[in-house]
Amino acid sequence: MIDRNKHWPVRHWGGHWAIGHWPRLVAVVQPTISTDLRHSPAYILREHLVGAGVIGDISDVDFWPAYVCRLPAVEGNVVSIYDTTPVVHYRVHEDVYALHWGVQVILKSEDYETGLLKMEDVANECEGLEDASVSVSSALLYIIRTCAFTTGIIYVGLERRTGRRHIFSLNMLAVIDRII
């Protein structure tokens, strides 16, 4: 029985808001969260990285312009973020699951050291993500819960056509929710 005169703290555990003390849980309240995204996970991650100042917007050609799901033939240092295959992780309950979105970051750099350092900056920012809010438009808000790397930083090699720029890759799974 709930003592209505007693103040119950509200806490957040594993995607659920809980009223009461764990493990003596009184009630579980689902937040208004949806895994049905209105933007691609690559676009959401790019918006976060641009907002954090790690990479630049496509209009900023001097500071690592970042593109989503395409890599145009531009000169200089450039980043592109792609969507890859998501992974569905089932939980204890039948219909409750977590969808981990696949994301790949490709970076082309004019020299090896600069590219490696920039990719380490991207990796450090993604590794430290925990419930990061990302506003994509005035009406849409996403939360990047976490990013888990499926690979380390991979040096792919030099570009085939020109042989001038160095290519790096980083693959990860991201848990992203849309706030309704």
The domains of the chain, with CATH numbers, are: 1-31 (no CATH), 33-179 (3.30.2000.30)
Q: What's the Rg (C-alpha) of the chain? A: 20
| Residue 164 near residue 179, CB atoms below 8 Å | no
Widest pairwise Cα distance in the chain: 73
- Report the alpha-carbon distance of residue 52 to residue 75 in Å, rounded: 24
pLDDT digits (tens, 9 = 90+) for 35-88: 678 899 999 999 999 999 999 998 887 899 999 999 888 888 999 999 998 887
Q: Is the pLDDT of residue 106 over 50?
A: yes
Q: Is the pLDDT of residue 172 over 90?
A: yes
Report, as an integer, the average pLDDT of 147-170: 92
The pLDDT value recorded for residue 120 is 97
The pLDDT value recorded for residue 93 is 57
The pLDDT value recorded for residue 95 is 63
